[in-house]
Amino acid sequence: MPVKIAVLKETRPNERRVALVPAVADKLAKLGAELHMQSEAGLAVKLPDTAFKNVTFAANPQGLVSDADIVVSVQPPSLDVVNAMKEGAILISFIYAHKEVELTKLLRDKKITTFAMELVPRITRAQAMDALSSQAALAGYYGALLGATSIARMMPMTTFATGSIRPGTVLVMGVGVAGLSAIATARRIGAKVEGYDVRPEVKEQVESLGAKFIDTGVDARGAGGYARELTQEEKDKIASVVTKHIQAADIIITTAAIPGRPSPKLINKAQIDGMKSGAVIIDLAAEGGGNTEYTVPGETVSAGQVTIVAPLNVPSLLGEHASELYAKNQYNLMELFIKDKAISIDWNDEVLAKSALTHAGEIKNEAAKKAVEA
């Protein structure tokens, strides 16, 4: 029997992505999968049902998933959908268990094997499955362009008959995937760019993109590629160095987010109050509360003459390419356990083991288990 895969239509507000695109549907069909998709799931990215070959469509999500071996989505599915899934089925989606406690408990109790895309380990072998990184790269690109179009000045140095305009200064705070993408994009549009991160090892990456790295002398490397918690003394030392760069910037793009935890506050009110008139902050970490003390997630606010823009679900704003990359991430993950037209999960595989949120009636991820079962 072929592996039956069901693709859900996204129903959460302002979600424009879809978990399957035609090119990936063709590849899954070659793996021996039988594809079923909720009607009009791709319309948000201008993909009508007719764009998909080898796919059967159904309107009702519960009926769609009831006999599916694998269910895929972008955002966490509803409780009704999970209740309709058969015991032992596989779900592949972003979940964020700390925000979805009831859903995670239901996935556990239904004995669903859940591969949470945010749990894919950040190791070399898993790069092709790393949806956090693919979506973050898009967010960084969008953030740089949003900053450039939110400020009343040009970015590149330009010479006119009346004289020259100096290049705009962009400060990127948090140099992970999103930050590097923002730096590269800001450089392409002619800005003078600086990058700051508490992890000194990213200095070479920042400089390779033509930007200047701000070195504070504090090493805050933590587990999993993320920054650790800082002491107050370290925070004060960083602030003394970074503040002058904050106050000189035309645009600041902040990207510091830690899955499962609130976004760290990188910029306080006093620092923003001292920024130049007309400056703009693009806070790409608004999902976790934001990186500034003035941030209001999902809104644009003014603090004196400074504007703070805090968009939510930024990758979805580039839904076409975000869907394409996400669908490829999921395909590369499924390729690990769809063998000879059947499901065969090797739990000794580090990628699969670490990506698993629930399996066989247990919550497998320890951090999620503490959050859900506390």
Residue 130 within any structural domain of the chain: no
* Domain end residue (candidates: 282, 301, 317): 317
Q: What's the pLDDT at 101?
A: 97
Helix orientation angle between 131-150 and 319-334, rounded to the nearest 10 degrees: 170
For 312-345, write each residue's pLDDT tens digit.
999 999 999 999 999 999 999 999 999 999 999 9
Residue 125 within any structural domain of the chain: no
Candidate list 122, 187, 188, 228, residue with the active-site label: 122
Is 346 an active-site residue?
A: no
- Shared domain for 186 and 301, answered yes or no, is yes
Residue 369 within any structural domain of the chain: no
Q: What's the pLDDT at 222?
A: 66
Candidate list 67, 127, 215, 221, residue with the active-site label: 127
Candidate list 49, 66, 226, 228, residue with the active-site label: 226
- Shared domain for 46 and 188, answered yes or no, is no
Residue 365 within any structural domain of the chain: no
Is 12 an active-site residue?
A: no
Q: Are 5 and 65 in contact (CB under 8 A)?
A: no
Residue 81 within any structural domain of the chain: yes
Q: H/E element holding 4?
A: strand 3-7
- Shared domain for 102 and 188, answered yes or no, is no
pTM strictly above 0.85? yes
Q: What's the pLDDT at 70?
A: 99
* Domain end residue (candidates: 300, 317, 334): 317
Q: What's the pLDDT at 261?
A: 86
Q: 329 burial class (0-12, 13-18, 19+ CB within 10 angstroms)?
A: buried
Q: What's the pLDDT at 49?
A: 98
For 263-280, write each residue's pLDDT tens digit.
999 999 999 999 999 999
Is 181 an active-site residue?
A: no
- Shared domain for 313 and 336, answered yes or no, is no
Residue 370 within any structural domain of the chain: no
CA distance 197 to 199: 5
- Shared domain for 183 and 80, answered yes or no, is no
- Shared domain for 47 and 165, answered yes or no, is no
Residue 213 within any structural domain of the chain: yes
Give the burial string for 76-111 (b: 16+ CB within 10 Å, else e): bbbeebbebbeeebbbbbbbbbeebeebbbbbbebb
Q: What's the pLDDT at 105?
A: 98
Q: What's the pLDDT at 373?
A: 87
> Domain tally for the chain?
2
- Shared domain for 91 and 141, answered yes or no, is no
- Shared domain for 291 and 149, answered yes or no, is yes
- Shared domain for 147 and 207, answered yes or no, is yes
- Shared domain for 183 and 193, answered yes or no, is yes
Candidate list 93, 133, 271, 355, residue with the active-site label: 133
Q: Residue 230: which domain range?
A: 136-317
pLDDT means per 10 residues in the chain (374 residues)?
96 96 97 96 97 96 97 98 98 97 98 98 97 98 99 95 96 97 98 94 96 89 67 87 97 92 93 98 98 98 98 98 99 97 97 98 96 86
Q: What's the pLDDT at 1?
A: 82
Q: Are 157 and 193 in contact (CB under 8 A)?
A: no
- Shared domain for 145 and 261, answered yes or no, is yes
- Shared domain for 354 and 247, answered yes or no, is no
Is 108 an active-site residue?
A: no
Residue 163 within any structural domain of the chain: yes
Candidate list 16, 93, 130, 326, residue with the active-site label: 130
Is 127 an active-site residue?
A: yes
CATH of residue 327: 3.40.50.720
